[in-house]
Structure 1
């Protein structure tokens, strides 16, 4: 009944070298700490059990269950275990805890534990898994709270389903669940990322009204909008929002970093450096993000001298490079003709064990090595051998870069050989790689082989406009006029169908005008069967046909004289 005394006693005894706490001992202490809401101590104890003492999450669950005491325990101890599993980086363990409690113990964790687990799933980028688990949670009868619905909105925005996210927002209001500033920030950020900054600004201006005065914008809200306008190149509005922030909301380094990057994207280097001076005048210190933006765009514009001065200043003032700085430096040197220096820098990084195992820097260098000189193939081979020596295997991007380079050089046999090696290594080709091969075949008098490959890709559902354009260029280059025309007409027809599917997916109902437009164009370049199929598809999707269009185009094709609305 004295939590402080229990914890002090435990820590005192723990200092004895001969003392090794048991699972039961620590689990009892966890129950006591949860009871008095000392959650930092709880997470520390669970981390000790999971990491230092080597118990599995299910063993810890059994230990906590066996020590459950109605007088000092509460169900929050199992919520805490789910959170500890998520913090350890393994969301799957958290889910296993939830399900074992439900199926074997007959105990349900709170909605907070589910929220914590679902948040972990989203942070891992597993959006499809999120939807599956979310629906599972709802099926168990849990009542959503603002944090649950915020996660739903975040997932929808991540999938660019902005209007569905807004509908969830209105569902919150109807359910009496008040949105918080995070809710607004996610929707505003989603609108800005989709390019609809005006919608984001409208939501921003109405935050107070829509939340009945409970929510006001914070620095994150402003930064989302500033970023949106910077991406559009509207620096005047972005700056005015920054000025508006100064009244009641703190302008932070991120705000300036966004504005600096916005000016640099427009090629306004002078204005970007002026903003850096303004930052310092306000007592804000430019961080690595600001320096990375400056160096990246300086290299992009070919100003290697100023970029080198900035890099020297960073070293002199002990501003540590991060992985983005390294990639910017390697790519910047390579694209400006300093490939040897880039390779030397990479070699130094590798020697200091500062190169990530993701192969990102290596892929940049392989790309530029292929474009260096006549001995590029041998240099790439040596570079890849060095990668293997360091225990780094080529990934899909590496193989794709090599295939694309060989295809562009006309060395199709080499490209196919690399493709075969890729398959042997268990790497799965993506559409970009297939497009490189189709393009290479089409440009090197092998357009018939390219057509066979395109047909196979079509069966797999792996076609896009790039694939078909490559084949179209191949037909034109080989004077296969009829094939080129047929493919062009097919592409136009597919584009019409895709447009209608896109309308339906985004909640826009095709109408009689859509019907008339698509059918009028289709009848000029498609067969009778295809025109009728397009008509049927639109009717199934709820389109009311225009009687005049039907009578003039569809009716004669199917042997009917008129269509009665």
Structure 2
């Protein structure tokens, strides 16, 4: 019995020995390599892994390794980046898609996006090929639906919104799969950034028709789109629809509506939304630095720097310190108002608070300095930028070329542009070249050899004149009263097959009107009418030319015709008429024109105020001038201190002299 049992056991062992012997006698080479890589990879023995012959690496082996180490993505990434990349191994679409699934499942989204980017940009796969690869390699153990959202996100990041939409559509129609609302939000956001508001609403309505439930980010996109079209009331309606649907707004929702109101000039509505943020959000949302910046920016655009500073003070009281963006907004506001010292004082305050002025602040100040002719201080600020390692951007380059040119440093501007070309930093929109050409042409007749040399140098660098270039030259020549030269450029433009645009025609009309050739300007306007190119600027230029050349009847007939045509009369037209009436008419005539102006829905502006009050000061009593002033204020004219002082300064001085004389007599 014992021997029998022993014999049976021995037989079983022999059978097992034969089985294993057979297994190792003909091993699968990929299995051996796979197990070897797994052992070395777990121990991160990179030197041993580098010794693997490239011929032993296959895509099937890579897919097995990815699956094996799906919970240790850092190891498989290390193998991919440190071993495969150095062997010039070319992974297949399926192996990379499997790797993308693992990255998404482990929440390594940046790595997944990087691999999708490589497939599309470096390896030449189309978006639909990548989609098929991700679909075919989908595995419930290692995959997540977010992988398709990631493909859409990469397409939108490459500004390829058509491909992103094709992915969404293909998944829905061909594969019966619905991407998440987050993918739709990403796609809609990119459509909106492409300035296609109508396209955004079309795709948004399509998304809603599929039964998607909008979230706060979807609603925010809709609010932003409506604000871009100045449909603020509709945006507020969407906000209340959001609340009604149980979706709580965030601070971005409020910031977009407040910014939209401020950009439309409706500061009262912006402030109302700002004050009621807490009530409208049931206490969940409070203003942040962006909210305050929207309000401050609105007041800065209106020139109301006192209120802007009050809002900034309120911001500090709430515990939010002004950041660089806030200071940049205030600096720009002061510079718009011509308060250079206050703007530079803000820069010093920034530095005291350990805030480094950014490129926006520097650009604003340097531009203002050049505009005021202070090239020395502008150079000092440029040197600060260089010392603090703030790189120049395209706006800095434009400011430099424009600033140097307008202040007479044409050679320096040309040299700087030449340096930009050598570094391949010139703008592709030809703005710098057209700026140089404009100031070269305006530099005068005596510098024709230098102008020709500079123009030849610009053209020799490959610059070809376009319609903007010709328009720039014609406008500059007309402003220099060099009409014959302007006509020569015009004829050259026609010979090259380029059609003049409205701006070019208006420049010629303006030049003719100012050079006692108003009859020729009239002929030009008649030709423009035949081409359908006349606008209110053309007619205002001719109107002003008639008055300048003492052709009053022609001017009045033209003005009547402009009124009859409808839509071709604006505040500039009335300002031209008022300027003539103020010089040759009575105060009652002025009032009659003003009444007609307001009755036709044209609001007076600060120029109207300066014309009326400035001329009335020379002819009328203080009471009559004050009556005009009060009437303008009632009609909603915004006045600045300089306009008021220039209008009433003479009366103030006269009153002071009378008081001084009375005190002497006493």
What range describes the TM-score normalised by the shorter chain of this pair?
A: 0.7 to 0.9
* Partner residue in 2 for 1:94: 164
* Partner residue in 2 for 1:26: 96
* Partner residue in 1 for 2:273: 203
Contact 2:562 2:568 (8 Å CA) reproduced: no
Q: How does 1:378-397 map to 2 (within 5 A)?
A: 382-397=453-468
1:416 aligns with 2:486: no
1:465 aligns with 2:536: yes
1:225 aligns with 2:295: yes
CA distance, structure 2, for counterparts of residue 449 and residue 10 of structure 1: 75
* Partner residue in 2 for 1:51: 121
Cα shift readout 1:338-393 (whole Å, capped 9, x = no counterpart):
22221222122222222222212112211211210115666556545444433344
In the superposition, relative to structure 1, how do residues 482 and 200 fare at CA in structure 2: closer, same or farther (>3 Å)? same
Cα shift readout 1:286-322 (whole Å, capped 9, x = no counterpart):
2222222221111112222211222223223333222
Residue number among 369, 373, 381 corresponding to 2:444 in the alignment: 373
Cα shift readout 1:415-446 (whole Å, capped 9, x = no counterpart):
4325426744xxx7654334324444656442
* Partner residue in 2 for 1:152: 222
Structure 1 window deviating more from structure 2 (232-241 vs 468-477): it is: 468-477
CA distance, structure 1, for counterparts of residue 178 and residue 561 of structure 2: 56
CA distance, structure 2, for counterparts of residue 377 and residue 196 of structure 1: 51
Residue number among 12, 19, 32 corresponding to 2:79 in the alignment: 12
1:137 aligns with 2:137: no
Contact 2:101 2:138 (8 Å CA) reproduced: yes
* Partner residue in 1 for 2:112: 42
* Partner residue in 2 for 1:62: 132
In the superposition, relative to structure 1, how do residues 421 and 128 fare at CA in structure 2: closer, same or farther (>3 Å)? farther
Residue number among 239, 243, 247 corresponding to 1:177 in the alignment: 247
In the superposition, relative to structure 1, how do residues 199 and 388 fare at CA in structure 2: closer, same or farther (>3 Å)? same
Cα shift readout 1:377-416 (whole Å, capped 9, x = no counterpart):
6655654544443334444432321232344432353243
Q: How many positions carry a matched residue from both structures?
A: 499
* Partner residue in 1 for 2:641: none
1:77 aligns with 2:176: no
CA distance, structure 2, for counterparts of residue 358 and residue 475 of structure 1: 37
1:186 aligns with 2:256: yes
CA distance, structure 2, for counterparts of residue 158 and residue 379 of structure 1: 47
Q: How does 1:477-492 map to 2 (within 5 A)?
A: 484-492=555-563
Cα shift readout 1:90-141 (whole Å, capped 9, x = no counterpart):
2222122223333433433222222211211222333343333334334444
Shift, 1:229, TM fit = 1.3
Shift, 1:41, TM fit = 2.0
CA distance, structure 1, for counterparts of residue 217 and residue 95 of structure 2: 34
Residue number among 321, 337, 341 corresponding to 1:270 in the alignment: 341
Cα shift readout 1:442-467 (whole Å, capped 9, x = no counterpart):
56442453233332343xxx543202
Contact 1:235 1:262 (8 Å CA) reproduced: yes
Cα shift readout 1:153-185 (whole Å, capped 9, x = no counterpart):
222222333333233223323333222111111
CA distance, structure 2, for counterparts of residue 521 and residue 189 of structure 1: 32
Residue number among 351, 354, 358 corresponding to 2:422 in the alignment: 351
* Partner residue in 1 for 2:394: 323
2:107 alignment partner, SS class: coil
CA distance, structure 1, for counterparts of residue 496 and residue 253 of structure 2: 44
In the superposition, relative to structure 1, how do residues 279 and 477 fare at CA in structure 2: closer, same or farther (>3 Å)? closer
CA distance, structure 1, for counterparts of residue 272 and residue 263 of structure 2: 15
2:507 alignment partner, SS class: helix
1:449 aligns with 2:523: yes
Cα shift readout 1:228-249 (whole Å, capped 9, x = no counterpart):
1122222222122222222332
CA distance, structure 1, for counterparts of residue 74 and residue 564 of structure 2: 73
Residue number among 106, 113, 118 corresponding to 2:183 in the alignment: 113
1:297 aligns with 2:364: no
1:363 aligns with 2:434: yes
TM-score, normalised relative to structure 2: 0.68
1:243 aligns with 2:313: yes
In the superposition, relative to structure 1, how do residues 455 and 479 fare at CA in structure 2: closer, same or farther (>3 Å)? farther
Contact 1:111 1:144 (8 Å CA) reproduced: yes
In the superposition, relative to structure 1, how do residues 22 and 315 fare at CA in structure 2: closer, same or farther (>3 Å)? same
Contact 1:439 1:470 (8 Å CA) reproduced: yes
* Partner residue in 1 for 2:588: none
Structure 1 window deviating more from structure 2 (351-360 vs 43-52): it is: 351-360
CA distance, structure 2, for counterparts of residue 447 and residue 275 of structure 1: 49
* Partner residue in 2 for 1:398: 469
Contact 2:235 2:257 (8 Å CA) reproduced: yes
CA distance, structure 2, for counterparts of residue 320 and residue 276 of structure 1: 18
Contact 1:441 1:450 (8 Å CA) reproduced: no
In the superposition, relative to structure 1, how do residues 286 and 169 fare at CA in structure 2: closer, same or farther (>3 Å)? same
Contact 2:442 2:477 (8 Å CA) reproduced: no
- Of structures 1 and 2, the one scoring higher in RCO (CA 8 A, sep 6+) is 1
CA distance, structure 1, for counterparts of residue 151 and residue 363 of structure 2: 39
CA distance, structure 2, for counterparts of residue 430 and residue 110 of structure 1: 48
In the superposition, relative to structure 1, how do residues 378 and 134 fare at CA in structure 2: closer, same or farther (>3 Å)? farther
CA distance, structure 2, for counterparts of residue 490 and residue 325 of structure 1: 46
Contact 2:535 2:568 (8 Å CA) reproduced: no
Contact 1:404 1:415 (8 Å CA) reproduced: no
Contact 2:470 2:490 (8 Å CA) reproduced: no
1:257 aligns with 2:328: yes
Structure 1 window deviating more from structure 2 (286-295 vs 93-102): it is: 93-102
1:107 alignment partner, SS class: coil
2:279 alignment partner, SS class: helix
Larger Rg: 2
Structure 1 window deviating more from structure 2 (479-488 vs 223-232): it is: 479-488
Contact 2:172 2:178 (8 Å CA) reproduced: yes
What runs of 5+ residues in structure 1 fail to find an aligned partner?
500-516, 523-565
In the superposition, relative to structure 1, how do residues 366 and 254 fare at CA in structure 2: closer, same or farther (>3 Å)? same
CA distance, structure 2, for counterparts of residue 497 and residue 396 of structure 1: 26
Structure 1 window deviating more from structure 2 (30-39 vs 199-208): it is: 30-39
